[in-house]
Structure 1
Amino acid sequence: MTTVRFRGLRARSGPLTDGQGYIWNALRRQPPEDQRSLAVSVHVPEGTALARVTSALVALVTCHESLRTRLVAGPAGETRQEVAGSGSLAIDLATMDDTDAPTDEDPARTWGGGGFDHTTDFPLRTTVVLAGDEPRWIVLTVSHLATDGAGLQVLHRHLTALLRGDDPPAGLSLSCRQPLDQAAYERTPRARARAERALTYWRRQLERFPAFRLPARRPSEPRFWRGTLTSPALATAIPALARRVGRTERSVVLSAVAVAYGRYLDQDSCAITVMCGNRHTPELRDSVMNLPQRVPVVVDLRGPFAQIAGSAQSAVLRAYQHAQYPPGRVRELIGSVAETTGRDLDTDTGFNSVGPTRSGRTPDDTPPHRSFAWVHKSHSDIARLRFFDYFAPNGLSLYTDTGFVPPDDIRAFLTDVEEIILSRAS
């Protein structure tokens, strides 16, 4: 291990952003060993000295305040963020066989991962992978509190440019908002008015949400399981089905998930929350922070698949206009609507679409065989959670509370979604 210091930077503190507040509601329930952090590997150009690598990492932390931010308690007990102006960055050193030819994801899978104590740790862990004495890869593990998947790719592009000596990096706007700037913006009259419109939208949708219907069961150990189905056939079937029905690939996968979930619950509509990246303005496009928030939609499952996909896509596009709001007020709203309607609302089903990752190699996105794997298990998370991910171009994942969905149903559900897509694309 080696340690480098940063000093003389802007130090400040303030409230969490809405995006940070959303993800912190989940992370605060989890010890570090249960957290799922983001990881990416960055290829180091041949002949790059370790000193240049460490300088590039200091430059990265200097530029992006979220990487040197911890959580602190405010005067009223609220959670706040504190950006350090000085500190140290520990860099783990790992070695690999110089003759190894790892697959695209191997560096991050082998040396990435692990959670954080956000009150004492900076939300970044770094490993430099050496071949002999020469740096070959840098693996960044970053907390979801510090960034989302899009921000992780900004870090990848920025660090790649720094290693090449391209500073400022071409094509990246390093003047994008920092988290505390975003938190300040969210408290302006314009942003508050937008949040009120979002809360009005949430109320209208929640009034249409069904009651939670899944019976409790004895949970597995540990309680929360994620299963992932990788299907080479989906890589061609999803685009083909999207062309056939004239909708986006994300929309046809969401529709297939909704149809399968409707079958599972024996109902003709599906209430689900979808993730919106919230990077549609120039000042946020290249920001390194966690911006996504969920927003509810109700998908009507009556009619042919093309009609379902069309209504789902329209519903999601409308929903995206209302995806920035104070998450605490939404939690209060859910309780209020549940009390008014007398229903225990089913608000814990989510959907997200994740694009292909980039780690400095050309990925093989179509492995030669269909496979299913349990990729994550944890003891703590949000009770009743059911969260679907579409990993473009060929991966489907379900993470759920086995106190309501048994592990066998996870695999069966993903197989059902696959069958829906393949049968309608052929």
Structure 2
Amino acid sequence: MGGLIFTERIHVKYAGGRAVEAPLTLGQINTLEWLGDDTRAGLYRMMEWAVTVPDGTTLRDVTDTLAVLVERHESLRTSFVTGDGRRQVVSGSGQVAVDVYETDADAGSPVGPEEVTDLISALQAAPVDDVADSLFRAAVAMRDGAIRVVLIACSHLAVDCESLAVVVRQFNHLIRHPDERHAGPLTHQPADQALVENSTRGRRRAEASLRYWRQLTSRMPQSLCAMPRPADGDEREVHHDYAVPASGGEGQPLGCWLDSPALRLALPHIAARTQTTLPMVLSAAFCAVVSWRTGVTDLVFASLANNRIGREMHDYVGTLAQDSLLAVDAGTTSFDELVRRTGGATLRAAMHGLYEVRLLQDLQEEIGDRRGTLFQRDCASNINIFFDGETRPSGPPEAAQEALPRTALRWHIPPYFRVLLLMRVIDSDGEPLLGLTTGHADLIPAAEIESLLLGIDRLLAAAAAGDVDLRRMTEITGLTPVVRGPEWLRVDNCWIELPEVQAVVDEAVQAPARVFAVPDDDGRPVLTAYVAAGGAVSTPREAHRACLGLLNGRYSAMAPGRYVICARAPEDTGDPDAWRSQPVLAEGDGREAQR
């Protein structure tokens, strides 16, 4: 870490809190599922938050404040027993490691992003302390005896984004008010939350969440953003004058933040007029541009639920957030109506985000087997910070349109995770900052991200002055609906590309095969795969399972609805009548119920 020299590790002692063991909370179970069972800090991701402190703050001020926070919030001093008898174990006393570094930054100069990045890298590279707790750590960068920045790092098992914001908010307050540096009365803790979740009422809520997921997963598109792959050399021109970082090839991530004064000016006007919240307006704008671009009006996609329902959850510190599903009917010409629909959908989603993740996975597998689809979280919305401030406009509505020329797009390469299109909203100095991220820049390239972000920006600026007719989306935003060729079909509410389905079947059966769209009695297309015997499968069930196993990352394919295993392939494999004339060895839908 150029510019940082490690000077010492301080072990901050804490004591006086209760020591308790309890079952895992649903949030902890969910986090362990995607992090893995190894809970040592050096082997899985943490979340960091950089904090500047007032002049004159000492290391003792920092360590005293951290000790109070660990005593106050049990999740910061919790370890986990995984495997059989899994549980959380809260320590009544212990130590937290604080690493101190000397920086070569100029004394008194503003703390820059590179300085914070270097401190994060240094803390991540530091060995895990066998003496101190590993789920909560801190680092301090100093110059000539003065503290420049404090880095607070917590494991995902200890906090989610909103919990980390609570920790940082209380740290900032206690640093400035030393007389209040005490843990205070015991508040709602993860051990208490586990008891609530295991109560009759808690179990009913989790069961209701699974019923909600079942209802929506049974009809949602497999991929909301299933669109033709951009042709090589045929990507639309990027119109803004900025540098886009190099990101190409399959599985390459790309992200961009929309730094927009117009958006910030418009949001309060729209929220006040529709009597909703800023996050609801942002979600509605995202729904509007995605629906217009994809041609899908029945929108169902993953959306992060903070699960902070109830007064006792306001300052709760622990991992609570889980995915829910946001289901919005975008079939309206009024943006204000879409905002209200999105608001109602947001509240419904918020009520159904607490569940046992393994039960949800079983449910998704069952429905995927029946439909021939794979839930891939291809489109998602993560609004990490809910803005509690008033939504009073700071200027006239016309100011939003006038501010559009000041919009800037800030590109970055995010850590890779499997998502086709993710909207994120974070708090940036008290203002919402919206961004889009993809894990597949080959499918959602820079120009696509740009057009969606600018579409959101222009739509909100136009809506500041009054309701917008969504039939004018292209005129207002410049965003055009995608054009799909004749090889695209709508099957079970999913846009699929027949050649992509054919590629899945070919790889699955390892024999001559052909997929046709055959109308059922109601005229709806059923994907029917004719397969010659002698390959990797001999029954419809084997063929179906093999196809399902190949859907990961294939957003415009699904497994066929029917399989016909023939004795041999016809001479003309593209002729459905020729396949029908072959002797049939086995046929059926290949679903679990047919076994």
Q: TM-score, normalised by structure 1?
A: 0.82
Alignment partner, residue 219 of structure 2: 208
Corresponding position of 1:193: 204
Deviation, 1:404, is 4.1
Q: State how many pairs are aligned.
A: 411
Alignment partner of 1:99 out of 92, 108, 125:
108
Cα distance change of structure 1 residues 296 and 141 upon mapping to structure 2, 3 Å threshold: same
1:262 to 291, 299, 308: 291
How has the CA–CA distance of structure 1 residues 274 and 185 changed in structure 2, closer, same or farther, with 3 Å as cutoff? same
Say whether residues 1:178 and 2:150 are aligned partners. no
- State how far apart, in whole Å, the 1-side matches of 2:451 and 2:191 are: 44
Task: Please say if 1:165 is aligned against 2:178.
Answer: yes
Secondary structure of the residue aligned to 1:166 is helix
| Residue number among 344, 354, 362 corresponding to 1:314 in the alignment | 344
**Aligned counterpart, 1:339:** 369
Q: Which of 411, 422, 426 lines up with 1:374 in the alignment?
A: 411
CA pair 41-175 structure 1, distance change in 2 beyond 3 A: same
Distance 1:224 1:18, change over 3 A: farther
How far the C-alpha of 1:230 sits from its partner, in A, is 1.0
Alpha-carbon deviation of 1:247? 3.0
Q: Tell me how far 1:36 sits from its aligned partner.
A: 6.8
Distance 1:52 1:35, change over 3 A: closer
User: What are the within-5 Å matches in structure 2 for residues 403-418 of structure 1?
Assistant: 404-418=443-457
Letter in 2 for 1:200: R
Asked if structure 2 preserves the Cα contact closer than 8 Å seen for 1:111 and 1:139, the reply is yes
Q: How does 1:221-232 map to 2 (within 5 A)?
A: 223-232=252-261
Letter in structure 1 aligned against 2:144 = G
* Residue deviations 1:222-280 (CA, integer Å, cap 9, x gap): 73333212111111012222234443222221111012112332212221222222223
Alpha-carbon distance in 2 for matches of 1:23, 1:385? 21
Relative to structure 1, the CA distance from residue 340 to residue 166 in structure 2 (aligned partners, 3 Å threshold; closer, same or farther) is: farther
Alignment of 1:3 with 2:17, yes or no, is no
- Structure 2 match to 1:396: 434
Identity level (%): 25
Offset, 1:173: 6.9
Distance in 2 between the 1:126 and 1:225 partners? 29
Alpha-carbon spacing, 1:225–1:315, altered in 2? closer, same or farther (3 Å)? same
Tell me the distance in 2 between the aligned counterparts of 1:371 and 1:36. 30
Partner of 1:111: 119
Q: Which residue in the other structure is 1:139 paired with?
A: 151
Structure 2, gaps ≥5 residues long: 1-7, 231-247, 389-402, 466-595
Corresponding position of 1:279: 308
| Matches of 2:37 and 2:448, distance apart in 1 | 25
2:84 paired residue number: 75
Q: Are the structure 2 counterparts of residues 35 and 418 from structure 1 closer, same or farther at C-alpha, using a change threshold of 3 Å? A: farther
Distance in 1 between the 2:184 and 2:311 partners?
9
Deviates more, 1:385-394 or 1:118-127: 118-127
**Cα–Cα, structure 1 residues 317 and 49, in superposed 2: closer, same or farther, change >3 Å?**
closer
Aligned to 1:57: 66
Structure 1 equivalent of residue 464 of structure 2: 425
**Deviation, structure 1 residue 91:** 2.2
Alpha-carbon deviation of 1:131? 4.0
Q: Tell me the alpha carbon deviations over residues 68-105 of structure 1, each in whole angstroms, 9 at most, x when there is no partner.
A: 334443227x6x544444344132334343221347x7
Q: Judge conservation of contact 1:67–1:122 (CA < 8 Å) in 2.
A: no
Secondary structure of 2:99 counterpart: strand
Q: CA RMSD in A?
A: 3.7
Deviation digits for residues 48-77 of structure 1 (CA, Å, limit 9, x no counterpart): 43233223222322332222334443227x
- Determine if contact 2:162/2:384 at 8 Å carries over to the other structure: no
Q: Aligned in 2, Cα 1:347/1:248: closer, same or farther, shift over 3 Å?
A: same
Q: d(CA) in 2 for partners of 1:174 and 1:389?
A: 35
The aligned amino acid for 1:227 is: C
Query: Once structures 1 and 2 are overlaid, which stretch shifts more, 394-403 or 348-357?
Result: 348-357
How far the C-alpha of 1:147 sits from its partner, in A, is 1.3
Q: In the aligned structure 2, how far is the partner of 1:33 from the partner of 1:262?
A: 40
Cα separation, 1, equivalents of 2:288 and 2:150 = 42
**Alignment partner of 1:39 is 2:74:** no
Question: What is the match of residue 290 of structure 1?
Answer: 319
Q: Is the 8 A contact 2:251 2:439 kept in 1?
A: no
Aligned to 1:363: none
- Structure 2 distance, partners of 1:338, 1:144, is 29
Cα distance, 1:108 vs structure 2: 5.0
Aligned-pair CA distance for 1:301:
1.4
Look up the equivalent residue of 2:352 and give its one-letter code.
Answer: H
State the Cα distance separating 1:209 from its structure 2 match: 0.8
SS state of the match for residue 201, structure 1? helix
Query: Counterpart of 1:331 in structure 2: which amino acid?
Result: Q
Letter in 2 for 1:86: G
How far apart are the structure 2 equivalents of 1:51 and 1:177?
A: 28
TM score, norm. by length of structure 2: 0.61
Q: CA deviation at 1:28?
A: 4.1
Q: Which moved more, 1:308-317 or 1:94-103?
A: 94-103
Query: Aligned in 2, Cα 1:418/1:29: closer, same or farther, shift over 3 Å?
Result: farther
**Aligned pair 1:22/2:48, yes or no?**
no
Cα drift, residue 39 of structure 1 = 1.0
The 1:199/1:136 distance shift into structure 2, 3 A limit, reads: same
Corresponding residue of 2:399: none
- Partners of 2:387 and 2:339 lie apart in 1 by 26
Distance in 2 (CA, whole Å) between partners of 1:227 and 1:32 is 29
Kept in 2, the 8 Å contact 1:4–1:58? The answer is no
Report the structure number with the largest CA radius of gyration: 2
Higher relative contact order structure (alpha carbons within 8 Å, sequence separation ≥ 6): 1
Residue 289 to residue 228, structure 1, CA distance change in 2 (3 Å)? same
> Which residue in the other structure is 1:361 paired with?
none
Larger mean Cα displacement after TM superposition, 297-306 or 141-150: 141-150
Equivalent position amino acid for 2:325 in 1: P
In structure 1, the gaps of 5 or more residues are 359-365
1:243 is the counterpart of 2:272: yes
Match of residue 544 from structure 2: none
The Cα offsets for residues 368-406 of structure 1, whole Å up to 9 and x where unpaired, read as 943222334224x3x345321123535221222216433
